[in-house]
Structure 1
C-alpha cells in the first residue's frame, strides 16, 4: 500500500506578486507540515485574477509572465520535493493565457492553458487548445482551470490519457446574476461542488480542487477547496474559508477498487457519440 497525502488550497491572491509569493510560501510550508506530497493552489495565485468578470478593464489585467520568469523559479524552489500546481497569467509574445504549471524543485512537469473561456474572458486571454496528462512523482496527473471542469469532455480527455489525478485550479466566484443571501445557497456554490464530484465519479479518478477566497471588485470567491475520491466522495474540504483540505489515500488502489466491477473508461463507446 502506497499512501499519498494530497492538499488543495483555498486562499486569496491579488496583484502584488511579492505578496503572492509570500502567501504561496506559507501555504507550501503548511502543506509540508501536513505531510502533503501534492499541493494544488488556486488559479491566478501569482498575480491575481480579473477584477471584473463581466467587463474586464484592459488597463488592469493580471501581470503576464513567461514560464521562465523568476517568480516561477521561486515557486519551484519553495516546492522542493513537493509536487505543486500553480496558476498564473502566461505571456507568449503578445498573447496572454490563463495558465497553470505543475512543478517541483527540479523544474516544470506539466503545463495547461485554459481551453474554455467564459465570454468576458476572451477580452483578456486567448484560449488554449489541448488537454494532456503527464507523469509526476505522485502519479499521472492532468490539470483543468476554472470553467474547463464544466465540460465533461475536459476531464474525460485527461482520464483517457491515463490521468489518475485531475488538479482543478479555480478563481470561481459566487453567482454574479442571482446572488443568494448565504453562500451555501448560491447556485455557483452548488455547481462548483457538483462538477468536482461528477468529474471524479464519471472518470473514477481523484479530483483535487483549489479555489480562491475573499472578494475582488464585485466578486466573492467561493473557496470550497476539496479532495474527491474516485467514487465521487469528498474526502476533505475547507468549506468557504481559507485553508487546506488534506486527504491521505492510496491513489492506485482507490482507483482500482472503483473500477473493479464497472470500469467506465473500458466501457465507453465513443463511436456512438456525436459532438
Structure 2
C-alpha cells in the first residue's frame, strides 16, 4: 500500500535578528503540527534571523542561530516528527553559509545542504556550495532532496536530485513580491507570484515528484498588504497545488498521497528514461511497439 504523509507548511514571519522569538513561534507551530499527526514540518529560509545582511549585528545573530539546530533535533525526538528547520545561517571561518537540514523523528540529522545558486544580492555575503553535487537521502517519508529558494530557477538541480532517487524535494524560501527591479515590478506587480506558482507546479510535473515549497510570510493579520510573497504549497503532478497559502504567517497541513507520484511516473516515465544508458534529450521513432498510455 502506497503511504500518505501528513506535512505541515509553516509560513513563518521572521522578526529581524530575533532568533529566540522566531524559534519560540516555530516551536509552537511544530508542536501543533505534531498534535495534528503530521509526519513532517517545514519552515522557511532565514526563519531565525530574517535577511538583513547589512545590519551590524547580522553575523553575530547568525552565529547565535547555529545553536538552534540541536534544539530542533530535541524537538523532533520529543514529538516524533521530522523537521526541515528552514535554513540556518552558520559562520564558518568568518564566512556565512546558508544551510538546510532534514531532521528525522528520532532527532538524527539525515540530510544537509548548503545553498548553491545564490540570489544576486546574496553573493556579497554568502558562500555557495559551488561544485558539490546535489544528493538525495533516505528518510521515514522516502527519499528526499533539499534545495533553497533561488535554486528553484535551475531545473538542473531538480534533475540531479531526481536522478538520485528523490521523491520529495523540500524548498525553504525567502521570496518577496519586490525581489525585482522597479521596471520588472511595473510590468506586473504579481509577477513574482506568477513565477512561484508556475515554477513549483512545473518542477513537480517534469520530475514526477512532490515539491514542498515553504516561503516566509508577512506579519499575522496583514493579509495581502505585505511584500512577503508567501504562497507556500505542495506541488504534485496531475493535481497541482495542495494546501496553497496566502501571503501572511500561518500553517497549512497537507496530506500527500505518494500514489500520485507513482501514477505520474507510470504516465510520463521521466525516471525510467533517465535511467536508460546514454540518456539524452533527442527523440527516436519507436518501431514495432505501440506505447501504452
Query: TM-score, normalized by length of structure 1?
Result: 0.86
Find the aligned partners of 1:270 and 1:90 in 2 and give their Cα distance. 38
C-alpha RMSD of matched pairs (Å): 2.4
Higher relative CO (Cα under 8 Å, sequence separation at least 6) belongs to: 1
Asked if 1:250 is matched to 2:252, the reply is: no
Find the aligned partners of 2:115 and 2:165 in 1 and give their Cα distance. 20
Residue number among 62, 65, 72 corresponding to 1:64 in the alignment: 62
- SS of the residue corresponding to residue 198 of structure 1 reads helix
Residue matched to 2:126 = 125
Asked if 1:187 is matched to 2:183, the reply is: no
Asked if 1:30 is matched to 2:36, the reply is: no
Query: TM-score, normalized by length of structure 2?
Result: 0.81
Residue matched to 2:238 = 231
Find the aligned partners of 1:110 and 1:134 in 2 and give their Cα distance. 6
Residue matched to 2:76 = 79
Per residue, is there more helix in 1 or in 2? 2
Contact kept? 1:48, 1:88, Cα under 8 Å: no
Contact kept? 2:217, 2:229, Cα under 8 Å: yes
Q: How far 1:122 moved relative to its partner?
A: 0.9
Per residue, is there more strand in 1 or in 2? 1
Residue number among 202, 205, 209 corresponding to 1:198 in the alignment: 202
Deviations 1:65-99 (A, max 9, x none): 499x4311111112222111121102222221111
Q: Which moved more, 1:263-272 or 1:131-140?
A: 263-272
- SS of the residue corresponding to residue 145 of structure 2 reads strand
Residue matched to 2:290 = none
Q: Which moved more, 1:139-148 or 1:235-244?
A: 235-244
Residue matched to 1:113 = 114
Which runs of 5 or more structure 2 residues have no equivalent in the other structure? 220-225, 283-293
- SS of the residue corresponding to residue 117 of structure 1 reads coil
Contact kept? 1:208, 1:226, Cα under 8 Å: yes
Find the aligned partners of 1:221 and 1:196 in 2 and give their Cα distance. 17
Find the aligned partners of 2:64 and 2:112 in 1 and give their Cα distance. 12
Residue number among 142, 167, 170 corresponding to 1:167 in the alignment: 170
Deviations 1:15-47 (A, max 9, x none): 111112101101101211222101111001222
Find the aligned partners of 1:237 and 1:142 in 2 and give their Cα distance. 21
Deviations 1:152-200 (A, max 9, x none): 111111111111100010010112424869xx95111110111111111
Q: How far 1:205 moved relative to its partner?
A: 0.5
Residue matched to 1:264 = 270
Contact kept? 1:223, 1:239, Cα under 8 Å: yes
- SS of the residue corresponding to residue 237 of structure 1 reads coil
